[in-house]
Amino acid sequence: MNGCPRSVLSADTKLSGTLLGPVLHDLVSRGVVLRQNATQPGIRGPKPRYALKQEFGRALAIGFGHDGCGVAVTDLSASAILDGADRFSEPATSGWVDRDPTRAIAIATDLARAALEATQTAKDRLVGIGISMPAPLLPDGRGGNKGRTHSWLTALARLG
């Protein structure tokens, strides 16, 4: 574990030592953060280092293509997709995602729920979601019509 000393965490988060101490204590007690005693002593004694416990948190990836969508769940190292967490939409007609983004979002939502359930990922362990969207491309690779982008924005606005 490399981790960071409290002084670095304090500077990065802009939290005083008085505020940071209880936060770190809570995160360590819940198993979110690991505390390791330093091997080299500081001026006032050994300075422990803190690191995020990568297997505690989970990240959800949602990808939309022109012809389908898929999801995956990883731990925070993102080195591998967790078992049962790699799910894709059923094959359908070419370009269906572009024509029906509302349906695509609904399917991705169902896939995400199933992947989170399969990996037993509770909401408090989900620390991030990444979403990739299809670019409105023409067959030759140039930017496509703005109507497709508008339909995505309209579909996403309905969710809000």
Residue 35: give the domain boundaries. 4-52
pTM here? 0.64
Shared domain for 76 and 150, answered yes or no, is yes
pLDDT for the residue numbered 92: 85
Q: How many domains does the chain have?
A: 2
| Residues pairing with 7 in the sheet | none
pLDDT digits (tens, 9 = 90+) for 95-154: 888 888 889 999 999 999 999 999 998 888 888 889 888 776 555 544 555 555 555 556
What are the CA-CA distances from residue 22 to residues 26, 48, 88 (Å)? 6, 15, 42
pLDDT for the residue numbered 152: 57
Residue 69 reports pLDDT greater than 90: yes
What is the CB neighbour count within 10 angstroms for residue 54? 15
Shared domain for 65 and 46, answered yes or no, is no
